């Protein structure tokens, strides 16, 4: 039997939804569209749907707007019909049904991340553990305990043991043989880095060494060392060293290529810090390109650092980049259209509507609440009184007469217009009442509670409070003031 899908929407999106579904024909399902009594589809909630939706005979699945809030699984159980979130943007609905692309899993990857705590000798064990927890949360597989030249590290053993006690895989990174031995004897799983002159340390410990050239760029010495370890059937990782731009960067990439061609089956590491730390550019793009090279060369590990303030999200970026590159490689395709998390400053499709569509939408508005949209032509604000367009909030604000005696609403609109201006200038997607999407650059879990923010925003615009979520702090403060 043909699946019957019920699409729920709001008044303003109903015609657009119908046009999109009509354009998708023929489809392998039949459907109906219902407006459940809201103007803006994004304001729909599971509670609201549960109260208002009736007459579900013959419905096999319910698709709601992507921004619909609430527990849809519980809603589906109560209604007796599965409920599923669709797309944030109606125009993306064909993709939702697999017309343009299928969702690609980012669960798998083929590259490990060593995250180095560079200043470990200068911070306490508790601080080392806290840093390790952050790196692990961001995607690190190994916590690298860095040692600094001519800097005493009396708590090296304690640090390694404490990290192991918390379940971390640990490496110790030093050019000092004594520190490498101390780290190994404390239980380090890896040692960074051994060359021909220090290779004897590998005979004293079970830690897996990372092998480097005896002198910088001396690849024959690295090859000899690799051959020696392979003859003895001893585990190792090789690193031919990535150099900074204008100090041998291109040649160092060629060395990695030569290393992989010469030894197709060995494990290789690339340290990315010489590029991310020493290039004044956003690190997300740098890490994406490096992970592309790493994917092509089947490099197995990266050593990442977050020393410079501008490199503060390197581990998160590498974690996402390795997943994207792996997915693209498995699909034998480009690393495009898989995940937008590395587009921290821009967006592939920043403007979901054109100016004509905004004008058409504005003509349908009959209430006083302001809506905000952006197109390449500028920021557009509209309500029942009409549509105004400008390039920045200072240009628009004088025309918004309803804000003159409503401080909370004015504050709300100030925040929204500032976000819209930033999105317009950067080429990012703007959705009213939503944070701009900064991708992997934002620390997970640091956003203000979204439900409270949306509730406060809606109530500042004068909407019925009982139709939305519990009041946030802004609304509560406003009520206290008025009482």
The CATH number of the domain holding residue 84 is 3.40.50
Give the domain-ending residue among 96, 125, 150.
96
Q: From the centroid of its chain, how far is CA 330?
A: 21
Element counts in the chain: helices (H) and strands (E):
17, 15
Q: What is the pTM of this model?
A: 0.75
pLDDT of 222 strictly over 60: yes
* 274 within a domain of the structure (yes/no): yes
Please give the pLDDT value at position 103: 56
Cβ neighbors of 423 (< 8 A, separation 6 or more) are 350, 374, 429, 430, 436
Assess whether pLDDT exceeds 70 at residue 483: no
- Residues 92 and 118 placed together within one structural domain of the fold: no
- DSSP symbols for 86-145: --SSGGGHHHHTTSS------S--S-EEEEEETTGGGS-HHHHHHHHHHHHHHT-SEEEE
289 & 370 share domain: no
d(CA 383, CA 370): 5
Q: Tell me, what's the pLDDT at 447?
A: 52
Could you tell me the CATH number of the domain that includes residue 264? 3.20.20.20
Identify the burial level of 154 via C-beta atoms within 10 angstroms of its C-beta, where 0-12 means exposed, 13-18 middle and 19 or more buried.
Answer: exposed
| C-alpha to C-alpha distance for 79 and 100, rounded to whole angstroms | 31
> Based on the domain organization, do 156 and 220 belong to the same domain?
yes
Residue whose entry in the numeric block shows the structure tokens 């729909």: 44
Q: How far is CA 139 from the centre of its chain?
A: 12
Q: Do residues 321 and 368 share a domain?
A: no
Structure tokens at 97: 């049904």
- In the sheet with 386-390, reading across from the earlier edge strand, the strands are 371-375, 378-383, 386-390
Least confident of 187-201, 296-310, 340-354: 340-354
Residue 456 has a CB neighbour count (10 Å cut-off) of 24
Per-residue pLDDT averaged across 211-226, rounded? 97
Residue 253 lies inside a defined structural domain of this protein: yes
Whether residue 128 lies inside any domain: the answer is yes
Confidence (pLDDT) at 448: 46
Shared domain for 303 and 377, answered yes or no, is no
Whole-number average pLDDT of the chain:
89
Please give the structure tokens belonging to residue 284. Answer: 């997300």
Residues 316-334 have pLDDT tens digits of 999 999 999 998 888 777 8
Residue 237 shares a structural domain with residue 311 = yes
Rounded CA separation 211/137 (Å): 28
pLDDT for 245-292, tens place per residue?
A: 999 999 999 999 999 999 999 999 999 999 999 999 999 999 999 999
86 falls within a domain: yes
Tell me the C-alpha distance between 227 and 211, whole Å.
11
Q: What percentage of the chain's residues is helix, strand, coil (to nearest 5)?
A: 45, 15, 40
pLDDT in tens, 71-87: 999 999 999 999 999 98
79 and 56 Cβ atoms separated by less than 8 Å: yes
Asked if residue 15 and residue 126 are part of one domain, the reply reads no
Give residue-wise pLDDT tens across range 336-357.
Answer: 878 899 999 999 889 988 899 8
Torsion, CA 297, CA 301, CA 307, CA 311, rounded to 10: 50
Closest CA to 266 of 256, 254, 253, 251: 256
Give yes or no for residue 24 having a pLDDT over 80: yes
Where are any strands of DSSP class E within 261-419?
269-271, 301-304, 371-375, 378-383, 386-390
Q: How far apart are CA 186 and CA 51, in angstroms?
A: 62
Let me know if residue 222 belongs to a domain: yes
Q: Is 379 exposed, middle or buried (0-12, 13-18, 19+ CB in 10 A)?
A: buried
Both 169 and 90 in one domain: the answer is: no
What are the DSSP calls for 23-81, one per residue?
HT-S-SEEEEEEE-S-SSGGG-BHHHHHHH----TT--EEEE-TT-BS-HHHHHHHHTS
Q: How far apart are CA 302 and CA 306, in angstroms?
A: 13
370: left (phi over 0), alpha (psi -120 to 50) or beta: beta
Do 12 and 45 belong together in one domain?
Answer: yes
Average pLDDT over residues 437-443: 90
9: in domain: yes
Single out the residue of 432, 308, 329 nearest to residue 379, CA to CA: 432
Per-residue pLDDT for 173 more than 50?
yes
Which pLDDT score, from 0 to 100, does residue 453 have? 45
Above 50 in pLDDT, residue 462? no
> Has residue 65 been placed in a domain?
yes
Share of the chain above pLDDT 70, in %: 91
Confidence of residue 43 (pLDDT cuts 50, 70, 90): confident
Asked if the model's pLDDT at residue 469 lies above 80, the reply is: no
The answer on 153 and 199 residing in a single domain is: yes
- What is the pLDDT at residue 38? 86
Same structural domain, 184 and 267: yes
Domain count across the chain? 3
Domain co-membership, 151 together with 200:
yes
Contact predicate 106/323, CB 8 Å: yes
Q: How far is CA 329 from the centre of its chain?
A: 20
Closest CA to 313 of 136, 138, 115: 138
Q: Could you tell me the pLDDT band of residue 27, with boundaries at 50, 70 and 90?
A: confident
Burial class of residue 172, CB neighbours in 10 A (0-12, 13-18, 19+): buried
**Domain annotation covers residue 475:** no
Q: What is the pLDDT of residue 481?
A: 39
Q: Which domain holds residue 136?
A: 112-330
Long-range CB contacts for residues 82-88, cutoff 8 Å, separation at least 24: 83/46, 83/49, 86/7, 88/431
3-class secondary-structure state, position 220: helix
Structure tokens at 211: 């092998």
């Amino acid at each position: 039997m043909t699946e019957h899908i019920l699409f729920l929407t709001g008044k303003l999106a109903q015609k657009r939804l119908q046009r999109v579904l009509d354009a998708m024909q023929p489809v392998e399902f039949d459907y109906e569209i219902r407006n459940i009594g809201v103007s803006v589809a994004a304001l729909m909630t599971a509670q609201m749907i549960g109260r208002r939706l009736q007459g579900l005979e013959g419905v096999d699945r319910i698709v709601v707007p992507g921004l619909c809030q609430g527990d849809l699984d519980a809603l589906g159980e109560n209604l007796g019909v599965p409920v599923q979130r669709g797309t944030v943007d109606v125009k993306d609905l064909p993709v939702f049904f697999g017309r343009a692309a299928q969702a690609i899993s980012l669960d798998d990857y083929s590259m490990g991340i060593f995250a180095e705590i560079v200043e470990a000798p200068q911070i306490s064990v508790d601080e080392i553990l806290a840093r390790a927890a952050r790196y692990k949360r961001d995607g690190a597989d190994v916590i690298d305990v860095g040692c600094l030249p001519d800097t005493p590290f009396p708590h090296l053993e304690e640090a390694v043991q404490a990290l192991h006690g918390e379940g971390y895989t640990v490496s110790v990174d030093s050019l000092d043989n004594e520190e490498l031995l101390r780290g190994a004897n404390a239980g380090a799983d890896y040692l960074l880095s051994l060359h021909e002159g220090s290779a004897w340390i590998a005979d004293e410990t079970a830690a897996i060494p990372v092998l480097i050239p005896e002198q910088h760029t001396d690849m024959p010495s690295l090859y000899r060392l690799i051959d020696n370890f392979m003859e003895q059937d001893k585990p190792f990782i090789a690193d031919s060293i990535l150099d900074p731009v204008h100090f041998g960067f291109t040649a160092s990439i060629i060395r990695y290529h030569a290393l992989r061609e010469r030894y197709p089956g060995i494990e290789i590491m690339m340290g990315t810090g010489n590029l991310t730390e020493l290039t004044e550019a956003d690190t997300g793009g740098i890490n994406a390109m490096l992970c592309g090279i790493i994917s092509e060369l089947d490099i197995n590990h990266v050593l990442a650092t977050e020393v410079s303030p501008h490199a503060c999200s390197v581990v998160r970026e590498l974690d996402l980049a390795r997943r994207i590159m792996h997915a693209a490689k498995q699909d034998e395709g480009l690393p495009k259209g898989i995940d937008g998390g590395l587009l921290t400053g821009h967006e592939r499709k920043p403007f979901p509507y054109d100016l004509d569509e905004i004008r058409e939408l504005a003509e349908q508005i009959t209430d006083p609440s302001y809506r905000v949209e952006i197109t390449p032509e500028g920021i557009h604000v509209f309500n029942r009184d009409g549509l105004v367009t400008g390039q920045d909030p200072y240009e628009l604000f004088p025309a918004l007469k309803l804000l003159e005696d409503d401080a909370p609403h004015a504050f709300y609109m100030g925040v929204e217009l500032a976000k819209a201006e930033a999105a317009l200038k950067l080429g990012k997607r703007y959705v009213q009442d939503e944070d701009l999407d900064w991708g992997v650059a934002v620390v997970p879990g640091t956003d203000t509670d979204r439900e409270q923010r949306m509730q406060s925003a809606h109530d500042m615009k004068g909407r019925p409070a009982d139709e939305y979520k519990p009041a946030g702090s802004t609304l509560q403060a406003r009520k206290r003031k008025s009482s």
